[in-house]
Chains A and B, each alone.
Chain A
């Protein structure tokens, strides 16, 4: 059972456009929501993370929007660049350790 549902599976965006990836969860005990970026042949790397006490967090061109009542959160990549082409994973965790539940991933391709 997938505890974190992620969509879309793949995404193609023009350079300069906005990329949006969505995730949803059911377990209300989750209280930490990171996004990871993975390039081919590499392990995932933390991109940005949010806790449910805020509705939005921005770091450079990357923004997380969080809707606690809907149990949904999303990643927005502004001014998308070809170098952003990678697989993105959302994740969630409870305060019980370092166990993370990951979404199934979104393959982003930014066309020059």
Chain B
């Protein structure tokens, strides 16, 4: 099976802009989670979607939002970008609902100038 794919891989934006990141999970996986990875902070959980419903949400401002489509593909949106949003954004898919192995994509590297 193909792994988790994320597009784009690299992105440069300026403060105040908005950005949309895309994630295609492994075929058959219904859970998609998003994480922000920064040096020194590790991976910070953003949100999780299962069957198009947001089930869990991390401690991030409302500028961060997401959605999941009927084919399990997911998008994450960040509005009004700030310099501190520069990070690697990782998407992970899982086959089931609870405490399943997370299969991570390679991430989207976002740089905010």
Binding site for B on A (CB under 8 A): 2, 6, 31-32, 34, 36, 41-46, 49, 89, 91, 93, 95-105
Task: Pick the most buried of A2, A96, A98: most chain B CB atoms within 10 A of its CB.
Answer: A98
17 contacts between A and B (CB under 8 A): A36-B102, A36-B104, A41-B106, A42-B104, A42-B106, A43-B104, A44-B90, A96-B56, A96-B98, A97-B50, A98-B33, A98-B97, A98-B99, A98-B100, A99-B55, A99-B58, A104-B40
Does the CB pair A43–B42 fall under 8 Å? no
Q: With A42-B106, A43-B4, A43-B106 given, is the CB distance from A95 to B42 under 8 Å?
A: no
Does the CB pair A105–B48 fall under 8 Å? no
Does the CB pair B55–A101 fall under 8 Å? no
Number of interface residues of B (CB under 8 A): 29
> What residue in chain A is nearest B97 (Cβ atoms)?
A97
Does the CB pair A46–B101 fall under 8 Å? yes
Q: How far is the CB of B38 from chain A (nearest CB, A)?
A: 10
| New A-B contacts (18) at CB < 8 Å, excluding given A43-B105, A46-B101, A102-B35 | A42-B106, A44-B90, A45-B104, A89-B43, A95-B99, A96-B55, A97-B55, A97-B56, A98-B31, A98-B94, A98-B100, A99-B45, A99-B48, A102-B42, A102-B43, A103-B42, A104-B41, A104-B42
